[in-house]
């Protein structure tokens, strides 16, 4: 058997391998997402790292969902891909975790061996290209957080943004943004993956990103808020979508922003207050513009221009009536 990677033919062998002879791939984004925030992980010996990876993987929802499927079939439908030189699992870390789980629960040796496709060795480029094909363009999709971590790790290993972008099939600015999101999480010492969407909003939304760059108090306050959010958006003070929508409005009103930073109001209260202020501001701006319309200006209009002006005034009058009704309805 063989496979094609980056224009090169890679020979494959099929065999069954003892599960405890294999290693989880630490740089696999799903594995990395489980372990990169664990204090002292890099200082652990290999055996401790591998055991901790297993403990984290087996708690993953995707792995839990895989357990009944593997058990129902009595094994794997598709073999995992491993490297002979390092004994690392390039593709199939979740399936290896499931086999180890069954091994712990069984005494008859049924789960001792796992079906593998074995490649002698791979370059870093080939390995990354394979993972990209399977998890970014293929059937087993990585989450946005896992893809961002994949880009971040490659950048840390010296890959250029251009090279990473070519691998992902995305633009360099997109890759840079994803790397910046992970960087911000690391700067804030936050490894909760469900928080990724908040940091993504902070980096991508210009009003917010500019505020945290130029206003230290806003940065400190906001990053602390995000880090203290729950692991479930339903249990959090605000969602990432609410942050995207409401915070720029609050940032645009200094007095409201000060109250928010002082803790006197929450984000929604600040948004409602700033939003009302914005409505008032727009009406004032409209009134100021109308003050500039003088009789002498209208008198000098030609007939065609006057007719168009009269039509615009009628439309304006309807809008004023509509706003008056809103005011009357709100007392």
The 10 Å Cβ neighbour count of residue 141 is 12
The 10 Å Cβ neighbour count of residue 86 is 13
**Which string of DSSP letters, residue by residue, matches 208-244?**
HHHHHHH-HHHHHHHHHHHHTS-SSGGGSSS-HHHHH
**Cα separation of 151 and 182, whole Å?**
9
Res 216 pLDDT > 90: yes
Q: Would you state the pLDDT for residue 27?
A: 83
**C-alpha distance from residue 276 to each of 172, 242, 281, 282, 329 (Å):** 39, 17, 9, 10, 16
The structural domains of the chain, with segments of one domain joined by +, span: 2-142, 188-272, 297-331
Res 28 pLDDT > 90: no
**Cα separation of 267 and 265, whole Å?**
7
Res 138 pLDDT > 60: no
pLDDT category at 139 given cuts 50, 70, 90 is low
- pLDDT tens digits, 221-275: 999 999 999 877 677 889 999 999 999 999 999 999 999 999 999 999 999 988 8
- pLDDT tens digits, 150-179: 899 889 989 999 998 887 778 999 999 999
Whether the model clears a pTM of 0.85, i.e. scores above it, the answer is no
Average pLDDT (274-295) is 82
């Amino acid at each position: 058997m063989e496979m094609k990677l980056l224009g090169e033919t890679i020979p494959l062998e099929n065999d069954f391998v003892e599960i405890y002879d294999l290693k989880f791939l630490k740089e696999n984004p799903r594995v990395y997402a489980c372990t990169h925030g664990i204090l002292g992980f890099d200082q652990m010996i290999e055996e401790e790292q591998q055991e901790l990876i297993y403990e984290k993987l087996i708690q993953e929802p995707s792995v839990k969902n895989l357990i009944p499927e593997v058990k129902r079939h009595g094994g794997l439908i598709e073999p995992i891909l491993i490297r002979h030189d390092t004994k690392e699992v390039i593709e199939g870390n979740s399936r290896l975790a499931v086999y180890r789980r069954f091994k712990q629960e069984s005494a008859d040796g049924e789960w001792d061996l796992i079906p593998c496709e074995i490649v002698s060795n791979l370059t870093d480029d080939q390995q990354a290209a394979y993972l990209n094909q399977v998890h970014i363009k293929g059937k087993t999709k990585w989450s946005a957080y896992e893809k961002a971590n994949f880009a971040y790790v490659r950048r840390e290993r010296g890959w250029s943004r251009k090279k990473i972008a070519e691998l992902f099939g995305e633009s360099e600015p997109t890759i840079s943004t994803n790397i910046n999101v992970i960087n911000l999480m690391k700067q804030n010492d936050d490894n909760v993956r469900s928080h990724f969407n908040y940091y993504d909003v902070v980096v991508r939304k210009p009003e917010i990103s500019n505020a945290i760059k130029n206003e230290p108090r806003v940065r400190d306050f906001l990053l602390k808020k995000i880090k203290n959010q729950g692991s479930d958006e339903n249990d959090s003070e605000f969602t990432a979508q609410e942050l995207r929508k409401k915070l720029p409005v609050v940032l645009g009103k200094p007095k409201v922003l000060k109250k928010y930073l002082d803790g006197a109001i929450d984000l929604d209260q600040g948004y409602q207050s700033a939003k009302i202020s914005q409505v008032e501001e727009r009406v004032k701006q409209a009134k100021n513009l109308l003050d500039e319309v003088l009789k002498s200006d209208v008198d000098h209009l030609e007939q065609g221009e006057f007719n168009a002006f009269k039509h615009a005034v009628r439309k304006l009058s309807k809008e004023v009536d509509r706003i008056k009704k809103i005011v009357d309805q709100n007392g």
